[in-house]
A and B are shown apart, each in its own frame.
Chain A
Amino acid sequence: MNIVVCIKQVPDSAAKMAVEGGQISWGEAPLVLNPWDEFAIEAALQLIEAGGGDLTVVSVGGESAKEALKTALAMGCTQAILVSDPALQGADSQASAHLLAGVIKKVGNVEAAFFGKQAIDGDMGVTAAQTARLLGWPMLGLVASIKVEGGKLQVEKSLEEGRQVVECQLPAVVSVSKDIGEPRYPSFMGIRKASRATIPTWDLAEVGIGAPTSVVHWPEVLNPPVREVKTEIITGGSAQEIAEKLADKILEEKVL
């Protein structure tokens, strides 16, 4: 089975993010392979191991994204492609989706495109569904288990009320949830292969599409308001009264 997995390089989840002089900064923290994408790679690798085929890992970004691609290669992906073009600066999710749909078409013979649930920088979680819509392929979101049977995908996907068991014709787009299981470590053999790999860079001309237009912008990014923990002791005449007041406060915090 030929699969493409789309990954992103993002600032480490432990990074202290800040806006300094209008620029987003992550200090000394490293850029890493988006953690959700590791689950997508793992799911795709399991399918390839079970039924044979090729796993192509693709990332849109600058030169540094090659590190994330190398990690993916070291986990076992067959080959990697970096998509990079100055015209892609500030691409929003639907521009990225147009681009990825073009890349998947260019790779050719692709039977499934895998994505992580979301990228931990933008936290959008929409690119997979948008790419599916552009390709005209079914979208299987938040897949918890996956296998191929009789040339069709058999998946369990998560919804609020439980899991759906779904049978899907190929080709399809899949986004993968944590329930798929722990992603594997890069093997030593994978590490050797990855460090020697040359990763081609495709620009828009190579992909064969014009520059997609971005329509969603973030004209302003702010540091979150500094929350001084001032303890508020809730009092009242009865347990009922206290409970009501406390419930008010908790609901106001919008954490439920």
Chain B
Amino acid sequence: MDLALSEEQRMVQQMVRDFAQKEIAPLIKESDRSGQMNPLVLARMAELGILGMCLPVRYGGQGMDYISLGLACEELEVVDSTLRVVISVHVGLNSLGLFQWASEEQKQRFLAPQARGEKIACFGLTESGAGSDVANIQSSARRQGNAYILNGEKMWISLATKAQNCLWIGRTNPAAQEPHESLSAFLVELDRPGVKVGDLHGKLGMRAGSTGWIAMQDVHVPEENRIGEEGEGFKIAMACLDNGRYTVAAGATGLIRACLEASVRYAQERHAFGKEIGKFQLIQQKIATMVQSYEAARLLYLWAGWLKNQGLRNTRETSLAKWFSTEASFQAASEAIQVHGAYGYSDEYDVERYLRNAKGAVIYEGTSEIHQLMQAGYALGYRKDAALRCELPAYDAAFWQNP
């Protein structure tokens, strides 16, 4: 088992790190304070090809593998979680969902422009009354001839007001026996008549990003926009989450690293009782725990990424990585503030922003509680992953890197 990163992966990691540190880091505090996403973020990520980095060239992407995707997410979140959220929704939830389930024609029509960064993508699953309880979503998609009429309001949607495309889940079959079989997935262009979007403010964290709502009122979409078969919506949503969660896990790893680096720096600068505070054992304990969390989180997401590269089902491993890393990053951020003392409590330093951002990640993309149920289910044999009609394609450099 070779744990070393390939040359390509290292170069990707360095490139994303340089971009995030040099261009975006100086702007982040301002965005976080004002609650406005800086337009440079999406524009530059699109320009640099980051929005399509792990998709085949023939679908407008850059042909990199899933581990590169994880590495990029780690580097982005070191600067701010909202940068990684762009990848989570645009790449993880939407684009990779299309890559897995869409027809060839749909891939050319929807996926390629997204991969090229010409269209921004988001994911419409959650509603104000349905988060963990996905099967209970109320949005409907009523068939009418060759089209569907979509109704319903999605909430807590990242990039709602920035995106052109939304991978949207709604109920096509209210009469289905199993609620899990009543849903279908659609790629909805958000400029269709009847679509309204808006921003949500007042969040504890993720303020440098964009979170909003999407309301559909009698929105017509042709059946060519339906992704997969009728009734596959739940399975598709879950498969999308496998990829979204992966980016969250990788990102949270970066957040732990940011907490660790900030704490080490401060512990070496700040003096108390005649020495630098890094000499005191209780500070050392906090830093040691952050190191442990970081290394474990990193291995967990790399493993999930490796499985994806092999084309192997990784729902369990991805869920484990997400659960572990996000909880660990919240703890790391809390301890990082403690290391900084009163200065940690002030937005003069970054660590308070890490804590506010970290809390979001233990809620979205599957709450920690949901992941615990999943892990117990696997361990107790109550939960097994059945084969899917469409699996996430394995990484194939030759196929992906040639037009």
Contacts and interface: CB of A to CB of B under 8 A. Distances in A.
Interface of A: 67, 70-71, 74, 182, 185-189, 191-192, 194-195
B27 to A, nearest CB: 15
Interface in B1-47: 6-8, 11-12, 14-15, 18-19, 22
Contacts of B22: 182
Interface in B43-86: 48-49, 53, 62-64
B8 A187 contact: no
Residue of B11, B12, B14 contacting most chain A CB atoms (<10 Å):
B11
B63 A188 contact: yes
24 contacts: A70-B7, A70-B11, A71-B11, A185-B15, A186-B11, A186-B14, A186-B15, A187-B48, A188-B12, A188-B15, A188-B53, A188-B62, A188-B63, A191-B8, A191-B11, A191-B12, A192-B8, A192-B62, A192-B63, A192-B64, A194-B7, A194-B11, A195-B8, A195-B11
Given A74-B11, A195-B8, A185 B48 contact: yes
A16 B233 CA distance: 55
B15 A191 contact: yes
Nearest to B63: A192
A188 B64 contact: yes
| Interface of A (DSSP majority class) | helix
A179 to B, nearest CB: 17
Residue of A74, A185, A187 contacting most chain B CB atoms (<10 Å):
A185
Given A74-B11, A191-B11, A185 B18 contact: yes
A187 B49 contact: yes
B401 interface: yes
Nearest to A191: B11
Nearest to B52: A188
A187 B15 CA distance: 8
B120 to A, nearest CB: 19
Nearest to A189: B62
A189 B8 CA distance: 10
Interface in B256-295: none
Contacts of A188: 12, 15, 48-49, 53, 62-64
B15 A192 contact: no
Nearest to B401: A192
Nearest to B17: A185
A128 B232 CA distance: 65
B148 to A, nearest CB: 36
Contacts of A186: 11, 14-15
A71 B62 CA distance: 17
Nearest to A183: B18
Contacts of B401: 192
B237 to A, nearest CB: 29
Contacts of A74: 11, 15
A185 B401 CA distance: 19
Contacts of A191: 8, 11-12, 15, 64
> When A and B form their complex, which 7 residue pairs have the shortest distance between CB atoms, in order from nearest?
A188-B62, A195-B8, A191-B11, A195-B7, A185-B15, A188-B49, A186-B15
Residue of B8, B19, B53, B63 contacting most chain A CB atoms (<10 Å):
B8
Residue of A71, A187, A191, A195 contacting most chain B CB atoms (<10 Å):
A191
Contacts of A70: 7, 11
Given A185-B15, A192-B64, 17 more contacts: A70-B11, A74-B15, A182-B22, A186-B15, A188-B12, A188-B48, A188-B49, A188-B62, A188-B64, A189-B49, A189-B62, A191-B8, A191-B64, A192-B8, A192-B62, A192-B401, A195-B7
